[in-house]
Amino acid sequence: RNDQSVLSVQQQIIDTRKEAFEMTQRIALNSLKQEILRIENLIAADHRIVELRKKVAMTAAARLDQGIITSSEYLI
């Protein structure tokens, strides 16, 4: 009877530790998912910035070819 009580308490301790571990893992996973989403959003924003800069560079190159701006202005 006493052994069974000890085993029952030990099982409860194990169950509690397991639940705590699983909760910690879920929290860590959610945190990592949020970080991944944040980085993906930054990458998407960076891609948009690169595309806009390409357009600006192409426009400036066209203006340089047409003599609207100088080579010094083009480099700025």
Task: Read off the pTM.
Answer: 0.68
Any idea which residue has 């991944």 for tokens?
36
| Predicted confidence (pLDDT) at residue 76 exceeds the cutoff of 90 | no
Length of the chain as a residue count: 76
Q: Show the tokens assigned to 68.
A: 């609207």
State residue 1's pLDDT score: 78
State residue 2's pLDDT score: 87
Amino acid identity, position 21: F
pLDDT digits (tens, 9 = 90+) for 27-75: 999 999 999 999 999 999 999 999 999 999 999 999 999 999 999 999 9
Specify the 3-state DSSP secondary structure of 43.
Answer: helix
